[in-house]
Amino acid sequence: MNSKRRVAMAVHWDNIEKTFGHRKAAKPNTAKRMRTYQDNFMRSNFDDLKHGTKRRRVMIEQKNCCVGCGISEWRGSRITLEFDHVNGDRKDESRENVRFLCPNCHAQTDTWRGRNGTDNKKIKRIDSIPEGYYKGRKLN
């Protein structure tokens, strides 16, 4: 993108900012609605929640801390927590099976990065080669 276009876009966004800046203020009841929403999904049945809401709920229950070591900050900034399935089955999202761990604790688990997971693809064993399979094929 050339510099003239970049300057024009910057000016354009500044105009939008000036024109619609007054609309940025939150509605007066936004905080109240958010509290109500959070209370509702904290009280609902865990299995009835969608995937993203389950993650949010687990994070709130854990208070944004790692279950393994209890840290929430690393070198002065918030640490990124990883979603872990205790039994390794990524399809099993029951409350007892999910948790958030820091990368250090997660790397020490048996289920880190799909290791020893229960939903790994299994290789089918071929007991016999179908008749005519090698017909017309060159073998090394």
Dig out the tokens for 5 from the structure: 């276009």
Tokens 């918030």 appear where? 78
Tell me: the pLDDT tens digits for 23-45? 555 566 777 777 787 777 788 88
* Alpha helices (H) in 1-140, listed in sequence order: 3-20, 30-43, 51-61, 103-107
Q: Does the model's pTM come out above 0.75?
A: no
Examine the pLDDT at 11 and tell me if it is beyond 50.
no
Which whole number is the average pLDDT over 8-27? 53
Examine the pLDDT at 130 and tell me if it is beyond 80.
no
Tell me: the pLDDT tens digits for 58-117? 998 999 899 999 999 989 999 999 999 998 888 888 999 999 999 999 999 888 877 765
Q: Given this model, what pLDDT does residue 51 score?
A: 86
Give me the phi and psi of 101, to 5 degrees please: -130, 150
Number of H helices, E strands in the chain: 4, 4
Amino acid letter for position 84: D
Instruction: Say which residues have a Cβ less than 8 Å from residue 62's Cβ, sequence separation at least 6.
Output: 99, 100
